Structure formats: C-alpha cells, structure tokens
Amino acid sequence: MPDVRSDKDCRRLIAALRKPVYRGCFALTYAYGLRISEAVTLPLKAIDAKQMVLSVIGKGNKQRALPLTESILDMLREVWKTHRSDRWLFPSRRIVTSLPDATARNAFYNARNECGFDHNFRPHSLRHSFATHMLQQGVDIRIIQMLLGHSSIRSTEIYTHLTEPLRDDLRKLLDQTTDGLFEGKGVNHG
C-alpha cells in the first residue's frame, strides 16, 4: 500500500521547510504529484507563463504538459527571486546546477523529523497523497494517469485502494443497503 498522508500533514511538512527552494520544490511535488527527480531538475524553460503550462520530463524521457495555476506560478516567481538562476527552477547552492536529489531528500527528512512524522513519510508520499486526494475528489483515474505520467493505467490503479474516508463512506452505504436484509423485512413468506 502506498504511504498516503492527509492534506493537512502534507501542508504542515512543506511549511516546515525553511528555505524557499526546498519549500517550493516540495510544494510543486505535492501540487502536481511529481517524482522528486522530476521536480529538482526542472529548468526555467519548463514554465510557459503565456500558455499557463508546466512541461515536465518524466520516466523514459516522456514529456507531459501540466496546467499551471496562478498560485503556483506566483510561488515559482517568489522562489526564483531568492536565487535568480538563469537555468534552474530549484538550483543548488552554487546556482549553476540543479538541486541534488540527496540534498532535497535531506531537507525533507529534517522537516519530517521536526514535525514528528514517522519514517514512512518520504518525498514519494507526497506523490501518493496527491493521487489519492485527486481520486477522493472524484477526478477520473485517466486524468490522474496523465498527471502522474504513467504510461499504463495499471500503474495508476494502486491509488484506488480503499482509504479510511472511502472505507467509512462505503460502510455507511452498505449499512443503508443491507439494513434489515437478514430479517426479511418486506419479504412475503407465502
């Protein structure tokens, strides 16, 4: 089962990241369900502010175009003002290279520990949480497949697991539809 966290927990962890580059990187990871490797290597040219599109290169060098929101674009602009790299959205300290995956992970783990979350909460948990929250909000699984960059729907189907809120809703529905079933209410015993 994928490690899925509540929206509140994901936001709490992201808020605990003090440096704007780290906070922006993981905010984007959660907002779009990106893999950490996709987020840390995003070049500035990935942003098309006119078309409001974010171009992401995923596994297998496959490109996907994600719709940018005003709030995400504003956040990316604010992060850029802190480093002004002419190449990377999330640069390393030296500015000339992208943020190393290991550096981003260490920042995540430090924030996780500061928040008191268990060790199962990893950067990929943000991706799992994004996909699960989208499903819970009724987004079609094929749209989620596209957003995640999965080539096969089978890869996306792991998010259709019954989460706690979905189990509770299903239990209520089953309670309603099975109430009195055994007693035979309304059945003619001839």
Catalytic residues: 35, 59, 124, 127, 150, 159
**C-alpha torsion 4→6→10→16, nearest 10:** -130
How far apart, in whole angstroms, are the C-alpha atoms of residue 140 and residue 121?
26
How far apart, in whole angstroms, are the C-alpha atoms of residue 4 and residue 25?
19
32 φ/ψ angles, rounded to the nearest 5 degrees: -125, 5
Q: Is 4 exposed, middle or buried (0-12, 13-18, 19+ CB in 10 A)?
A: buried
Cα 6 to Cα 52, 102, 127, 131, 133, distances in angstroms: 28, 25, 12, 12, 8
Q: How many CA atoms lie within 13 A of 66 on its CB side?
A: 29
Which residues are within 8 A (CB) of 28 and not within 5 positions of it... i.e. 6 or more apart?
34, 39, 42, 72, 75, 76, 89
